[in-house]
Amino acid sequence: MSKGDVAYYLKPKITNSNDQVTQADGNDLYSNSLIVNFSRDNILVNVYDVNGKELFESRKGAVKYYNSNKRKIFTSRQDGRQVMVGAEPLISKKNGSLIGYAQVTDKLDNYRATANKLLVILVILVMISVLLTMIFAYILAQELLRPINSIQKTINEVKSDPDSDARVPAFRSNDELTDLAELLNGMLDQTKRYIDQQQQFVEDVSHELRTPVAVIQGHIDMLLRWGKDDPEVLEESLKASLQETNRMKSLVSEMLDLSRAEQIEINYGEEITDVNQVFEQVYNDFKMIHPDFTFTFDDDTHNDVYVKIYRNHLEQVLVILLDNAIKYSTKRKEVHLSLSTSLSMVNIAIQDFGEGISEADKQKVFNRFYRVDKARSRDKGGNGLGLSIAHRLIEAYHGNIWIESSLGYGSIFQINLPIMQNMPEEEPDDESKTPDSEDNSELPEGILDTSKEKPNQQPHDSQDDNSKTN
């Protein structure tokens, strides 16, 4: 193979006719892909004979010759730059003999330019991504810190003003911060309630003690001026002062009871009591204390009913209601008591046939210091706190109390308390205990086991098994 042969194929003669660039053989120059590819600036084509002598080069450039017996593509460094080289032996179609070598060298200029562009684009995209990430992180941080900022703001407001009603607003999310906000609001509500209770206690005591203190002071001033020399006046003043002192003592005791009743959820949250036992005990006590009254007890429960309430508190509520019924039963001295159950509640009803309460007063009977007839209530020794204490006690144990009354026909006070569905089981103590002590230990504190006494009880009189009348 000679230079002429190579030039015939790789350097064709070009003619211009009819504004069309053609080769000598008549073909369009630009339709020849080989010629087009070789014409690129970064492509160098070299052809060598079998001895390695250069027969053709597409453009001037220092290119190293690589001898190869088969097609081979590889990278190499030339003039300090990395290039891609493709080398292949040329075989004659006539006899299959080796006639030379063809070598194509790509300087990779386009590759480097494209790589640089991609790198610039990548840097720009990274910068944009970082900027967008920072903006998103800022917005996300603001959103995540918003509950904390709200909590901090609320705490600062309450810290600056303990009487403030500021609370953490409700959050849309359902996460730990929402639970924390609800817990904080609950704590603030409880603290505010205690503060209000304290203020109410001080105001109520100061208001209610003003009258007895003024009465005692008046009697003492009278005695100091002239009454001490008069035995009748002296005795009357001392009796009045003693009466007012006892009333103050009773008032302070009831106020303390009411204050304790408002903290039941803290002190007596897990106490369990047998309602039947307490009800029967109070019923028997009042029969003994007030023999001039007729008490009727209707027990519609088939088994002992247990509720989550401190025994003394249930007894206190029953005493308040029965004492109230007796106090206002002036003509018909009769009180009816009933005990019944529904699916989940136990109902206690206490009915009297006394003076009754008007519709306007029924809405206020559970208010502190409220008396329907203040003059008569004071004569009967009432302070207007008993029903308030009963109302607060029942509500503290998740029950409710209400009144049905008709003026001139008496009143019915009813109580509903949730029944304990699953009684807690207690393991027996040490084996050294006696059988009796083991049996009693299974019952909650404050509840007596009367199961062994029931067989010895006398049957009721001519009334039904579920009815008792004095």
Q: What is the mean pLDDT of the chain?
A: 76
pLDDT over threshold 60, residue 73: yes
pLDDT band at 4 (very low <50, low <70, confident <90, very high): low
Biggest CA-to-CA distance, the chain: 163
H/E stretch holding 338 reads: strand 334-341
| CA dist., res. 247 & res. 122, Å (int) | 90
pLDDT recorded at residue 27: 53
pLDDT band at 182 (very low <50, low <70, confident <90, very high): confident
- The confidence score (pLDDT) of residue 274 equals 92
Mean pLDDT over 10-32 rounds to 52
Average pLDDT over every residue of 29-39 = 58
Q: What is the pLDDT of residues 205-249, one digit of tens each?
A: 676 677 678 778 887 887 787 767 778 878 888 887 887 787 777
Q: Whole-angstrom Cα distance, residue 435 to residue 40?
A: 111
Q: Is the pLDDT of residue 433 over 60?
A: no
What pTM was computed for the model?
Answer: 0.46
Residue range 176-261 in CATH 3.40.50.1000? no
Q: Comparing 194 with 307, which gets the higher pLDDT?
A: 307
**CATH number of the domain at 3-107, out of 3.80.10, 3.30.450, 3.30.420, 3.40.50?**
3.30.450
pLDDT band at 254 (very low <50, low <70, confident <90, very high): low
Rounded CA-CA distance 20/30 in Å is 10
Among the ranges given (134-148, 281-295, 342-356, 360-374), the one the predictor scored with the smallest mean pLDDT: 360-374
Which of these ranges, 35-39, 68-72, 100-104, has the smallest mean pLDDT?
A: 35-39
3-state helix, strand, coil in the chain (%, to 5): 45, 20, 35
Q: What is the mean pLDDT of residues 427-449?
A: 42
The residue extents of the domains of the chain are: 3-107, 109-164, 176-261, 267-469
DSSP string, 72-115: EEEEEEETTEEEEEEEEEEE-TTT--EEEEEEEEE--HHHHHHH
> pLDDT-based confidence at 442, cuts 50/70/90?
very low
Q: What is the pLDDT of residues 405-416, one digit of tens each?
A: 888 888 999 999
Per-residue model confidence (pLDDT) at position 347: 93
pLDDT digits (tens, 9 = 90+) for 189-207: 888 877 776 777 677 667 6
- pLDDT given at position 463: 37
CATH architecture type of domain 267-469? 2-Layer Sandwich (3.30)
Lowest-pLDDT range of 15-29, 315-329, 333-347, 429-443: 429-443
What is the token pair recorded at 199?
A: 């203020």
